[in-house]
Chain A
Amino acid sequence: GNSVTQMEGPVTLSEEAFLTINCTYTATGYPSLFWYVQYPGEGLQLLLKATKADDKGSNKGFEATYRKETTSFHLEKGSVQVSDSAVYFCALSDSNYQLIWGAGTKLIIKP
């Protein structure tokens, strides 16, 4: 079946550091890929998405590229801020109606 695997957290970085959170997937067909963010005490917000191979999603300085050959959708940001501290979820959507989620990666940014 379809699945999403994320790197385990927490990931702790200093402000202005470079961020990578790894995400790989297993899917039949051609899924769409998403990154959602959950700030402390809040719900799930879509951060970015990509709908086909080689697409790059970007938002708020975050980027992720849909790599079909490596079945990956790694999240990157060049310079993180304390306000980026949150839990980040990678997810995929296939031909069915549901989103399939990774376990989430907690990101902690220290000043």
Chain B
Amino acid sequence: EPEVTQTPSHQVTQMGQEVILRCVPISNHLYFYWYRQILGQKVEFLVSFYNNEISEKSEIFDDQFSVERPDGSNFTLKIRSTKLEDSAMYFCASSELPSGANNEQFFGPGTRLTVL
């Protein structure tokens, strides 16, 4: 069964460093998303991406964040200068059609980012 994959599973970085989190969405999906979950808190939407551009982003997704689809398979989230409060589990998701059209978002297993 096709699945969303994410690498690495755990990333430890120093405050102020850049990190890139990688995701490989399901191959025939066209819509891609990033969410984050700070330990013990609710899942929060960061950004959605379609046709090589951002469709929607939340207040969390400020200038320190960027997303890219550098090739036909990868979807990346970059944090330019990490802060302690960026420590969280980051989930990538993809869907065949927009979620507003009742299509399921399939989630990857997540990357746990720890900023020291």
Residues of A within 8 A of B (CB): 32, 36, 42-46, 49, 51, 89, 91, 93-104
Contacts and interface: CB of A to CB of B under 8 A. Distances in A.
A98 B56 contact: yes
A102 B42 contact: yes
Interface residues of B, number: 26
Interface of B: 31, 33, 35, 41-45, 48, 50, 55-56, 58, 91, 93, 98-100, 102, 104-110
Given A44-B91, A99-B43, 15 more contacts: A32-B99, A44-B43, A45-B107, A46-B105, A89-B42, A89-B43, A93-B102, A96-B100, A97-B55, A97-B100, A98-B33, A98-B45, A99-B33, A101-B43, A103-B42
A75 to B, nearest CB: 16
A101 B44 contact: yes
Given A43-B107, A99-B105, A104 B42 contact: yes
